[in-house]
Structure 1
Amino acid sequence: MDVVLEETGPGRAVVGDPVLEIRNLSVDYGYDEDPVHVLREVSLTLHRGEVLGLAGESGCGKSTLAYAATRLLPPPGLVTGGEVMFTDRDGSRRDLLALSDTELRASRWQDTAIVFQGAMNSLNPVFRVGRQIADGIRAHRPGMGRAESLEKAAELLELVGISTDRLRSYPHQLSGGMRQRVMIAMALALDPQVLIMDEPTTALDVVMQRQIVEQIADLRERLGFSVVFITHDVSLLIEIADRIAIMYAGEIVEDAAAQDVYRRPRHPYARGLLHSFPPLRGPKRELGGIPGSPPDLAALPSGCAFRARCPYVLDACAAVRPELVTPAVAGDDPRRTVACLRHEPERVAAAGFEPVPVPPELAAR
């Protein structure tokens, strides 16, 4: 990962350098004395040119993380701590959570852009799609004329595989897949460095899902932006993501290269997710699943939030909260992290419990 994006020199951006760093981000819902802690000190790093997949069950905090990091979190959501550091192409850094309203408006769509889950709800139903794209461009490029902005909108539609004669179409005249492509075109209008996609293939058939995923991969290769791809479908991420972070109950529980997560999951929850869909290739296997339901975020249990559903639960799991650490498995990528006491024998022993060896299926190589 050492391909230079620009000419080499001080402060130049290099593929593989961090472009977006979320540090200890915490989010509460509610303004009273007993708010719900939806995100608890979440840390995540997106590298330049990378596709980072963010997966987990509904309600685990994936979308909340994206909206909080981009300051789009609606009330009663409240960011209670943390930083979101963005590194520009020239090497300058700034905390998105500390920007003024004017600075934030200039940064949106130019530094970071987001494709929302419901394209029909994101597009104005009474304006043609060409005008909506052009208006967004002119809002950030006030010197650009109407004709020039519409020409740029036409180029963007062609970029995502839509004929330019669709500029005059209203959102309801487009299929679900075409509306999602319009949203991708709009997000790419100002050449952002980070593209956040919040379940962009939801409600699309599998053929259209495949087309959208392939198009995102192609555009990433051509334009060089970084992607945060949010979905509950881990099988989809394995095909497109370079790295996958698994969320559960408002925390990251595993963060590793996509192929490592797929072939050698270290967290019981990640393993359960992977066994809930058929393998992409190879011999058939019995599908499993994860018993029970995610915990109530307003009344999280002590220790590990996953322990009530975990087949590998220890006595220590009720008393000790796991931390993200490098798994205690020889030969693992040192950048890989997992939050499971099965991989923290020292903390288990320090808490007065008997350490237990890592099960073979959580230590496969």
Structure 2
Amino acid sequence: MTPRPVLTISGLNVDYGTGSGAVRALRDVDLTLHRGEVLGLAGESGSGKSTLAYAVTRLLSPPGVITGGDVHYHPYDKGPVDLLGLTPQQLRAFRWQELSIVFQGAMNSLNPVHTVHSQLTDVLKAHRPQMRSAERTARAEELLSLVGISTDRLVAYPHQLSGGMRQRVMIAMALALEPEIVIMDEPTTALDVVMQRQILRQLVRLREELGFSVVFITHDISLLIEFSDRIAIMYGGRIVEEAGAAEIYRDPRHPYSDGLLHSFPALHGPRRELTGIPGSPPHLSAMPAGCAFHPRCGKAFEPCSGQVPALAPVPAGTAGGPARSVACWLHHPAPDAAPGAGEAAADAASAHPV
């Protein structure tokens, strides 16, 4: 059965600033989140991951401006909802009810002078004013139980909770109104590895119980491979590869994806050398011509420095495998390519297999 989309992003562009001094942070981003899936979004700092999350939820702070594209939410029983066209009042009703977000550094986002009870029930007061006080308290207790926290912690203040517990309170708050979509922006970055795995296991369990869809943003691709259904790789404000998590792990097609995979040690299996990625990500105000990754890429050849490759489908790695796309001249013929460019791409790929 063909998966149904719950969120579609088409040609999204975001600038910081206006006029000649504007810096483009997102460039023609296309992405689809299917109902009930976990979509991982990976890339180095500065690749545009958080900007994408804030643009979709319309939480961009000035001078961030959406300059083009479309974002549509697809509910079960209605036609598509244009998120970029919602009025402030409609947007306030939409957030948390249909789409919620767990912010980067979420465990420090709780108000230090209010109890957990007060902060959980505030969401219910704002969006479900018909609920009685006892009903709101019962719902807050249910939410804490969902994320594995004892209900006696409702009267606690944030400083009385561990980092992992504060993180789980934020996840509980994001689930308070049973949204269809939860966007998580590096929610486990400040936690140790053991606590990261505990929270991820709980997240997977909650997704299976409640049926919501997740966009999980992180720079650690090894985390995504463990529990994501699909992974999209971002670099220089663009999606450069999108495929099933297993496909990305076994057979990354973009050199940047391969570099990310070899920047983290494997938790299981034989030891392998960590090669990393040479150089640094480009500054958004001085993007290189052509493929943004070519100055750091060991497989770059002639078209890479002059033409930007589009994100286009490539054959799946296995028969019947999930569809995948990649933006790389190693896998697509360059337009107006010089004679022999196809052979050069083949030679580059064979000399440095991904």
TM-score interval, smaller chain: over 0.9
Cα distance in 1 for partners of 2:201, 2:49 equals: 22
Q: Which amino acid aligns with 2:40?
A: G
CA contact 1:243–1:256 (8 Å) conserved in 2? yes
Q: Secondary structure at the match of 1:58?
A: coil
Alpha-carbon distance change, 128 to 337 in structure 1, aligned in 2, over 3 angstroms: same
Deviating above 4 A after TM superposition, structure 1's stretches of 4 or more consecutive aligned residues are: 328-334, 360-364
Residue ranges of structure 1 left out of the alignment (5+ in a row): 3-15
Find the counterpart in structure 2 of residue 100 from structure 1. Answer: 87
Q: Does 1:340 align with 2:328?
A: yes
Give matches, 1:195-274, under 5 Å. Answer: 195-274=182-261
Cα distance in 1 for partners of 2:264, 2:78 equals: 41
Q: Does 1:123 align with 2:124?
A: no
Cα distance in 2 for partners of 1:189, 1:314 equals: 51
Q: Which moved more, 1:147-156 or 1:262-271?
A: 147-156
Q: 2:31 aligned to 44, 50, 69, which one?
A: 44
Q: 1:286 aligned to 273, 277, 280, which one?
A: 273
Q: Which amino acid aligns with 1:176?
A: G
Give matches, 1:25-64, under 5 Å. Answer: 25-64=12-51
TM-superposed CA distance for 1:32, in Å, is 3.9
Q: Secondary structure at the match of 1:181?
A: helix
TM-superposed CA distance for 1:357, in Å, is 4.1
Q: Secondary structure at the match of 2:330?
A: helix
Q: 1:351 aligned to 337, 340, 351, which one?
A: 337
CA contact 2:45–2:219 (8 Å) conserved in 1? yes
Number of residue pairs the alignment of both structures matches: 349
Q: Secondary structure at the match of 1:218?
A: helix
Q: Secondary structure at the match of 2:313?
A: coil
Q: Which amino acid aligns with 2:338?
A: G
CA contact 2:99–2:179 (8 Å) conserved in 1? yes
CA contact 2:231–2:248 (8 Å) conserved in 1? yes
Q: Does 1:178 align with 2:159?
A: no
Give matches, 1:142-157, under 5 Å. Answer: 142-157=129-144
TM-superposed CA distance for 1:278, in Å, is 1.9
Q: Which amino acid aligns with 1:351?
A: A
Cα distance in 1 for partners of 2:317, 2:338 equals: 25
Cα distance in 2 for partners of 1:212, 1:168 equals: 22
TM-superposed CA distance for 1:84, in Å, is 0.7
Q: Secondary structure at the match of 2:14?
A: strand
Q: Which amino acid aligns with 2:226?
A: E
Alpha-carbon distance change, 105 to 300 in structure 1, aligned in 2, over 3 angstroms: same
Percentage of identical aligned residues: 62
TM-superposed CA distance for 1:331, in Å, is 5.3
Q: Does 1:303 align with 2:290?
A: yes
> TM-score, normalising length from structure 1?
0.92
Q: Which amino acid aligns with 2:194?
A: V
TM-superposed CA distance for 1:351, in Å, is 3.3
Cα distance in 2 for partners of 1:191, 1:67 equals: 20
Alpha-carbon distance change, 329 to 182 in structure 1, aligned in 2, over 3 angstroms: closer
Cα distance in 2 for partners of 1:360, 1:240 equals: 31
Give matches, 1:295-334, under 5 Å. Answer: 295-327=282-314, 333=321
Residue ranges of structure 2 left out of the alignment (5+ in a row): none
Q: Which amino acid aligns with 2:330?
A: R
Alpha-carbon distance change, 293 to 236 in structure 1, aligned in 2, over 3 angstroms: same
Alpha-carbon distance change, 330 to 139 in structure 1, aligned in 2, over 3 angstroms: closer
Q: Which amino acid aligns with 1:163?
A: S
> TM-score, normalising length from structure 2?
0.95
CA contact 1:39–1:61 (8 Å) conserved in 2? yes
Q: Secondary structure at the match of 1:326?
A: strand
TM-superposed CA distance for 1:100, in Å, is 0.8
Find the counterpart in structure 2 of residue 6 from structure 1. Answer: none
Alpha-carbon distance change, 51 to 361 in structure 1, aligned in 2, over 3 angstroms: farther
Q: 1:71 aligned to 43, 54, 58, which one?
A: 58
Q: Does 1:140 align with 2:123?
A: no
Q: Secondary structure at the match of 1:214?
A: helix
Find the counterpart in structure 2 of residue 189 from structure 1. Answer: 176
Alpha-carbon distance change, 324 to 334 in structure 1, aligned in 2, over 3 angstroms: farther
Q: Which moved more, 1:327-336 or 1:132-141?
A: 327-336
Cα distance in 1 for partners of 2:5, 2:202 equals: 24
Cα distance in 2 for partners of 1:241, 1:330 equals: 18
